[in-house]
Amino acid sequence: MKKIILIVCAMIMAIPAVQAQKNYDQFEVQVDGLGCPFCAYGLEKKFKEFKGIKNVKIDIETGDFSFTYPTEKALTIEAVEKQVVKAGYTPMSGRVTRSDGTVEEMGGAPKEAIAADADLTTESVFVAGKCEMCQARIVKATIDIAGVATADWNQKTKLLEVSYDTKVTSLDAIEKAVANVGHDTKNHKAKDATYKDLPACCAYERVEY
């Protein structure tokens, strides 16, 4: 009889824990550029702004970042993606498993393919930056623009080589896009607040052009 009572008590005590798990959504994000413990700390600190976040796990080597968040707050995967960007990093992929079992993937509608009759041109433009994290951020900001076919940023020369459809976008629009994520160009300067939000290892020396 005592054993039965103990088992029943254990089951009753376990109920709140099970209910707690059911009341949380599980987020998983692949983050590019987590090269050191300081980077991981910066990312975690930025996500502490989300009150109620729990079970934060960051793998520096793989870039895997996961956490749980209260279902009632209805945190969107888009908001998580933006928070990663605000922390100075580049979200490559992500998903959220809701407490009811439904799964949502990061990313909206795919970018339109380059048209067969596109008027492609290739140009190079100076973009300030320091490291591989900067490279990932600059290239993603560029390649996400409609009309851009290819993009590559050279860490040594600081030149962004980009191939794009002149009927759809322009070099000026591309410069604005990389400035919006924190990287100065000769014609467009990043906002001070955006620059300051970059990880310490991405804090390039700013100059006047």
Residue 28: in which H helix or E strand, if any? strand 24-32
Range of the domain at 152: 120-202
Question: Which tokens in the block code for residue 103?
Answer: 């799964």
Q: Are residues 128 and 184 in the same domain?
A: yes
Q: Are residues 101 and 125 in the same domain?
A: no
Domains: count for the chain:
2
Q: What is the pLDDT of residue 14?
A: 42
Amino acid letter, 35: G
User: Where among 74, 105, 136 does a domain terminate?
Assistant: 105
Are 87 and 33 spatial neighbours (Cβ–Cβ below 8 Å)? no
User: Where among 47, 78, 105 does a domain terminate?
Assistant: 105
- Report the CATH number at residue 125: 3.30.70.100
Are 111 and 148 spatial neighbours (Cβ–Cβ below 8 Å)? no
Mean pLDDT, the chain, whole residue set: 85
In a domain, 51, yes or no: yes
Predicted confidence (pLDDT) per residue in 88-103, tens digit: 888 888 899 999 998 8
In a domain, 19, yes or no: no
Predicted confidence (pLDDT) per residue in 142-162, tens digit: 998 999 999 999 999 999 999
Strands 64-70 vs 90-97: parallel, antiparallel or unpaired: unpaired
Listed in sequence order, the DSSP H helices in the chain are 2-22, 37-47, 77-86, 132-143, 171-180, 192-196
Predicted confidence (pLDDT) per residue in 106-133, tens digit: 865 566 778 888 899 999 999 999 988 8
In a domain, 13, yes or no: no
Distances (CA, A) of 126 to 107, 171, 197, 199: 29, 11, 21, 21
User: How many residues make up the chain in this entry?
Assistant: 209
User: Where among 81, 105, 129 does a domain terminate?
Assistant: 105
Q: Are residues 28 and 100 in the same domain?
A: yes
In a domain, 17, yes or no: no
Share of residues in the chain with pLDDT > 90 (%): 55
Question: Which 8-state DSSP code applies to residue 98?
Answer: -
Question: Which tokens in the block code for residue 130?
Answer: 């320091």
